[in-house]
Amino acid sequence: MNSLIIAVYEVRRLIRSRGVLLNLFLLPLVIIFLLGSALSGMFNTTELSGETVKVVVAAEQTEPALKMLETYVSNPEVAKRIRMEKAASRQEAEERLRSGSADYAVLIPDGFGSAMQRGDEARVMLLPGKDRTLNRSAGLVLGSFVEEINYRQAAAIVMGPEAAAQPAFAPGEASTEGGPRSYVQAGQLGTGVNTYSASQYYAAAMLIMFLFYSGMAINTSLDLEKSGHTLQRLHSLPVTYSSVFTGKLLGNGFVAVIQALVIVGFSHFVYGVDWGSRLPLVLLIAGLVILVSMSLSVVLSLLFPNGATAKALLQVLIIAMTFLSGGFSPVPGEFMRQLSLFTVNHWAFQGLLRNMLAGELNVVMSSIVPLFWIAAACLLLVVIVYRKVGYRE
């Protein structure tokens, strides 16, 4: 009961503070609007890389689908982007991807062409390599080949095996401009690309960053009772140190939850930010970030009695993790991307973005599960540090 009373007063204190309302509620909404509007052009185009992508193909020499792929790659526009090389087996293709001697791989299983002509289930496997830009180029160019296969398989199901032998359009069929039609057209795609907008990108990034700042408020609150010498007076009443500590956590946690709901709701209804169809997952990620942020703030507050020192360390940590995770701009270089894996922001950020893109549930959960274990480890650290150091003057 004492903890709940302290939590209520903590919430009232925070809500009445103009600094809290401006810095935790208004400021993130303003930044999302400014960055989403100013940098919208950076997120609305998809470019093919100018480099030629080395694609290794593993298939039987007599496989009809291999001949289809060879014909497709021989197209002059495709040949500018794709250089096809053959592998004797799937294992060789995967090894070449791992070693970096190939940029992308296409695996055509045995009997694929026969299954496709019969209208049975048949799948081509596309394996990306190490370079994300080359992977995107290969995926965009080979997408037309996959669509051709899908067309022939659908034709076989509807009209019989003979229809599978007919291409979606004749190789020399003229386009509306009068020239021969090509599977690939070099240029930029501004619409219809399954990607996130600048508003979505920065809404997710700012939500995470300012939830960390909200967690940092517990540092100020815990230090305030010590510097004002009110903690000892509270303890002189029938109120334990643990009750004060728990009440502070509950009050600040409640305000952080309200902050997350305001940012998500306001950005969706006013800015039109699409957070995805799985809103509970968005709230779950936000809740885990709140647990981590408050845990880190509590640990530093207990280990460093000087509140200014703990606050400075938290500031550096928040800015560093936001930068490494791509919160200010997409992370350049493979080395920086590897470093981002060691930040809390990375897992929360990727989970939100994947949910926005309507990714499969297991893909979204692959980012949430590490975040869950990080939160559990932080809570355990809080218990250990509190038992060892305690919260008292």
Looking at residue 282, its pLDDT comes to 95
Average pLDDT of 86-95? 87
Q: Are residues 344 and 235 in the same domain?
A: yes
Q: Are residues 73 and 168 in the same domain?
A: yes
* Contacting residues for 161 by C-beta, under 8 A, at least 6 apart: 117, 118, 119
Q: Are residues 106 and 18 in the same domain?
A: no
Looking at residue 178, its pLDDT comes to 42
Confidence of residue 198 (pLDDT cuts 50, 70, 90): confident
Q: Are residues 141 and 159 in the same domain?
A: yes
Q: Are residues 8 and 97 in the same domain?
A: no
Q: Are residues 234 and 125 in the same domain?
A: no
Q: Are residues 114 and 133 in the same domain?
A: yes
Lowest mean pLDDT, pick from 108-112, 245-249, 258-262, 290-294: 108-112
Cα 156 to its chain centre, rounded Å, is 38
Distances in whole angstroms, Cα of residue 18 to Cα of each of 21, 25, 27 = 5, 10, 12
State the residue range of the domain holding 79: 46-189
| Cβ contact 282:352 at 8 Å | yes
User: Which of 189, 210, 231 is the last residue in one of the domains?
Assistant: 189
For the cut 70, the answer to whether the pLDDT of residue 117 exceeds it is no
20-34 pLDDT tens trace: 889 889 999 999 999
Q: Are residues 294 and 326 in the same domain?
A: yes
Average pLDDT of 358-380? 90
322-357 pLDDT tens trace: 999 888 887 777 788 888 889 999 999 999 998 988
Confidence of residue 169 (pLDDT cuts 50, 70, 90): very low
Q: What is the enclosing helix (H) or strand (E) of 56?
A: strand 53-58
**pTM > 0.85:** no
Distances in whole angstroms, Cα of residue 213 to Cα of each of 8, 52, 140, 219, 322 = 20, 45, 40, 10, 12
> What is the domain count for the chain?
2
**What is the distance between the alpha carbons of residues 54 and 59, in angstroms, rounded to a whole number?**
16
Tokens of 306: 């000087």
Q: Are residues 139 and 229 in the same domain?
A: no
CATH of the domain at 55: 3.40.190
For the cut 70, the answer to whether the pLDDT of residue 35 exceeds it is yes
Lowest mean pLDDT, pick from 46-60, 66-80, 182-196, 331-345: 182-196
Average pLDDT of 107-129? 76
Mean pLDDT comparison of 112-121, 129-138, 247-256, 330-339, highest-scoring range? 247-256
Mean pLDDT comparison of 65-69, 205-209, 362-366, highest-scoring range? 205-209
User: Which of 189, 219, 250 is the last residue in one of the domains?
Assistant: 189
Residue type, 248: K
Q: Are residues 181 and 290 in the same domain?
A: no
Average pLDDT of 131-144? 79
Q: Are residues 220 and 363 in the same domain?
A: yes
User: Which of 145, 163, 189 is the last residue in one of the domains?
Assistant: 189
Looking at residue 206, its pLDDT comes to 94
